[in-house]
Copies of this chain bind each other. A is one copy, B any other.
Amino acid sequence: MSKRITVHNKKAQPIYDIVIEKSFDLLCDELKKLGIEKKRLCIVTESKVGPLYAEEIAALLQNQAKEVHIFEFPYGESNKTLNTVQNLYEFLILHKFDRKDMLLALGGGVVGDLTGFTAATYLRGIDFVQIPTSLLAQVDSSIGGKTGVDFSAYKNMVGAFHQPKLVYMNLSVLNTLSDAEYLSGFGEIIKHGCIKDADYFHTLQAQLPQVLARDLDVLEEIIATSCHIKRRVVENDAKEHGERALLNFGHTLGHAIEKLMNFELLHGECVAIGAVAAAHLAMKKNLLTTEEAGKIEAVFAGYQLPTKVPAKLSASDIVTATLNDKKMDAGVIQFILLDGIGNGVISRAVTQEDMLDAIEACR
């Protein structure tokens, strides 16, 4: 059983489909709907994912598109930079890509964000398609049109909003992920339950055994549910003027920890730590009961995600890094709290002291 979720703009017009499959077999048919017979395609990927799937996909598309090229860059967040973007611009110019041509982002969040930003800015914008291969990218970063690269160690400091023309995911690729990479995706998935859907949160709690066994049918339901939650949020608020900020639950402290740890921890792991700290903060503000905050910590821990702030990071360094992060709004920090499980809220009343306390509570 495959699934299709359509993302709409604020006028309720369809803008792109999220297609959830268990192979790459239908990718070509989906791309044909976008008129690839007249287009040059560039599969953009990195050195871990590329060798696994890039040639297979290129072979599928070879006779269906005008040309198919592969651009591969070295794996890792440290390569999500303007330098890599410039290498990709060079490659596109060399192969004479014009405004009607298209990029395919094959990989995790790093590839999707970087390819999307390149597509947003090459010739003032060309089309791109997301083919997310990490669980994190499938449920989160491939949807919603946020693109960007890191700059001077600031995550996504440079970017643009640019919607993909299609998100195509092949769930069978999840079997090749390491346990840590795979489980990291649940940092964002559990977050979706926390901010928007208490039933989903409890389902995730119950389905842990099937998830650990990588049961693709259970995963398909989970991924589709997360895609629906993300879709609804970005449809309501494409450019993060309001509700979309809820998706940053766990990210304010999480990003700071990720940066201070030099990206040694995976993104979803940092989100888990940040979410547990935020839950503690919500408890202090009487928005969550002690029991609820404990349940949140237990679910992240059940998914083998860290819930403690790394001992080597000082609380004040984390808060300073947070204040330098971009989730500031005219000098005031926007912090996402939960008013009960399933109900994310935006708070502008979180002080530095609140954050310091929450961090110390998660040691």
Contacts of A152 in B (CB 8 A): 89-90, 93
Since A38-B330, A93-B154 are in contact, a sample of 8 more A-B pairs with Cβ atoms closer than 8 Å, ordered by chain A residue number, is A86-B151, A89-B157, A98-B326, A98-B331, A99-B329, A100-B329, A122-B158, A125-B160
User: Which residues of chain A (70-89) have a CB below 8 Å from chain B?
Assistant: 82, 86, 89
User: Which residues of chain A (327-343) have a CB below 8 Å from chain B?
Assistant: 328-331
Contacts of A38 in B (CB 8 A): 330
A312 contacts partner chain B, Cβ-Cβ < 8 Å: no
User: Which residues of chain A (128-152) have a CB below 8 Å from chain B?
Assistant: 146-148, 151-152
What are the 9 tightest A-B residue pairs by CB atom distance, in nearest-first order? A100-B330, A124-B159, A98-B328, A123-B326, A121-B158, A38-B330, A121-B160, A89-B151, A124-B160
Contact at A121–B121, with CB atoms within 8 Å? yes
Complexed CA–CA distance, A151 and B92 (Å): 12
Contacts of A316 in B (CB 8 A): none
Contact at B98–A330, with CB atoms within 8 Å? yes
- Could you list some 13 contacts between A and B, CB below 8 A? A82-B86, A89-B158, A93-B152, A93-B157, A96-B324, A98-B326, A99-B326, A100-B330, A121-B159, A122-B157, A123-B159, A124-B147, A125-B239
Complexed CA–CA distance, A22 and B3 (Å): 61
With beta carbons under 8 angstroms apart, the residue of B117, B123, B151 that contacts A157 is: B123
Complexed CA–CA distance, A148 and B326 (Å): 23
Chain A interface category by residue count = 35 or more
Complexed CA–CA distance, A345 and B197 (Å): 55
Complexed CA–CA distance, A24 and B151 (Å): 35
Contact at B330–A39, with CB atoms within 8 Å? yes
Complexed CA–CA distance, A326 and B100 (Å): 11
Contacts of A324 in B (CB 8 A): 96
Contact at B124–A161, with CB atoms within 8 Å? yes
Contacts of A158 in B (CB 8 A): 89, 121-122
A247 contacts partner chain B, Cβ-Cβ < 8 Å: no
Contacts of A331 in B (CB 8 A): 98
A120 contacts partner chain B, Cβ-Cβ < 8 Å: yes
Contacts of A89 in B (CB 8 A): 151-152, 157-158
Complexed CA–CA distance, A89 and B86 (Å): 16
Contacts of A117 in B (CB 8 A): 121
